[in-house]
Amino acid sequence: MTSEYHIPVLLKEAVEGLVINPDGIYVDVTFGGGGHSKAILGKLTSKGRLIAFDQDADAQLNVLDDPRFQLVQANFRYLDKYLRLLNIQRVHGVLADLGVSSHQFDEAGRGFMFRDNVLLDMRMNQQAPRMAKDLLMELQEEELVRIFSHYGEVRNAKTAARRIVEARKTVKIEHSATLMRILDPVVRGSRLRYYAQLFQALRIAVNRELDALEGLLAGCNRIIRKGGRLVVISYHSLEDRLVKHLIRSGNSEGILQKDDYGQPVTLWKAITRKPVEPSEEEIKMNSRARSARMRIAERQ
């Protein structure tokens, strides 16, 4: 593992909140540079086991040399499916550090950042068929509006979508500089913040991140044993809202279920009443931790 690949956020707090049985089976569904996984293994005995997931083939470069460890190259939405293939029915805890790794941000060829003129790729799984440039060139205006407003809270989503649809009649929108040249005349507020929101929206759409998170959370209901822990670090309100709904109501829609006697069915107990945030010291060391919010829950 290279220290430059990814700096794990809330490392100590996440691992301490997750590992309550040193002999247990745990899952790190966002392996990345292996920082969280290495710390989890440090808490386990020789009887413990850690399964990690990452859809990015680059993560294979960081595989940990430990007999208790196994890396699955797959999207975490298929968590319970792959665990069944490994003959694992229940686990003691799941950790998810959502969003984009430092490695993905820093690799210009991946297209996650707009500081250079990069190809608008943004795929976390580089085998996936559609890049951000494909969405910009192919989606209907109404769908672009939905993506920009819902996933990025872009204030003038309609105007931005309309300019893209008009521009692509004569220009191929394949690189970040082209996209920004089209949108610069209608940027609202801070240019940096505007494009950060727009690129976030495109990235979420390309990778279907919220769909994947909903699949993961539903899987956690099934595979985390009673008394087991769920630890999720999110970086924007859309992710955090789904996690909060799961903890409160047992599903990502936030619909409270009741038993035959009208009593609420509670699958989870919140261990952290409020999201845990990074310290000022951690933020100084790793500015990308600034927006992190961590929730911990225990399966009932």
Residues 180 and 214 in one domain: no
Same domain membership, residue 22 and residue 162? no
Same domain, 203 and 121: yes
Beta bridge partners, 25, equal 49
Q: In the structure, what pLDDT confidence band is assigned to residue 2 with cuts at 50, 70 and 90?
A: very low
What is the per-residue burial (b if ≥16 Cβ within 10 Å, else e) of 146-166?
bbbbebbebebbebbbebbbe
Q: Which of 135-149, 230-244, 262-276 has the lowest mean pLDDT?
A: 262-276
Residues sharing a CB contact under 8 Å with residue 105, sequence separation 6 or more, in sequence order: 112, 113, 288
Q: Is residue 2 part of a domain?
A: no
Q: How far apart are CA 298 and CA 300, in angstroms?
A: 6
Continuous H helices in the chain: 11-18, 35-43, 79-85, 102-106, 132-138, 141-146, 152, 157-167, 176-183, 191-207, 209-223, 237-249, 280-285
The candidate with the shortest Cα–Cα distance to 299, out of 215, 219, 212, 214, is: 219
The answer to whether residue 119 scores a pLDDT higher than 70 is yes
174 assigned to some structural domain: yes
CATH number for position 65: 3.40.50.150
Give yes or no: residues 78 and 31 share one domain.
yes
Average pLDDT over residues 136-143: 98
Mean pLDDT of the chain: 93
Residues 64 and 185 in one domain: no
Report DSSP state, residue 9: T
Q: Are 216 and 87 within one domain?
A: yes
- In Å, how far are 69, 71, 233, 255 from 225, measured between CA atoms? 20, 21, 20, 22
Q: Determine contact, residues 122/130, Cβ cutoff 8 Å.
A: no
Q: How many CB atoms lie within 10 A of CB 291?
A: 16
Q: Which tokens sit at 223? A: 């595979």
Segment among 9-18, 19-28, 48-57, 100-109 with least mean pLDDT = 100-109
Assess contact for 31 and 62: CB atoms under 8 A.
yes
Of 131, 228, 240, 241, residue with least CA distance to 176: 131
Mention every residue, 6+ apart, whose C-beta is less than 8 A from residue 23.
44, 45, 47, 48
**Is 3's pLDDT higher than 80?**
no
Note whether 97 and 214 are same-domain residues: yes
Which tokens belong to 182?
A: 């089209």
The number of folded domains in the chain is 2
Query: Do 174 and 89 belong to one domain?
Result: no
Q: Quick one: pLDDT at residue 113?
A: 75
Average pLDDT over residues 57-69: 94
CATH code, domain carrying 167: 1.10.150.170
- Reported confidence tier of residue 1, pLDDT bands at 50, 70, 90: very low
pLDDT digits (tens, 9 = 90+) for 70-114: 999 999 999 999 999 999 999 999 999 997 766 566 566 676 777
Determine, yes or no, domain membership for 6. no
pLDDT at 195 over 50: yes
3-state SS string for 105-173: HHCHHHCCCCCCCCECCCCCCCCCCCCHHHHHHHCCHHHHHHHHHHHHCCCCHHHHHHHHHHHCCCCCC
- The answer to whether position 3 is within a domain reads no
Structural domain for 51, as ranges: 11-103+209-299
Indicate if the pLDDT at residue 141 is higher than 70.
Answer: yes
Higher model confidence: residue 299 or residue 266?
A: 299
Same domain? For 96 and 225 the reply is: yes
Give me the pLDDT at residue 285, please. Answer: 92
Nearest CA to 30 among 49, 54, 50?
54
Please name the amino acid found at residue 36: H
* pLDDT at site 86: 97
Q: What angle do CA 232, 124, 58 make, to 5 degrees?
A: 100
DSSP 227: E
5 domain residue, yes or no: no
* Residue appearing with tokens 């929101």: 197
**Shared-domain flag, residues 139 and 219:** no
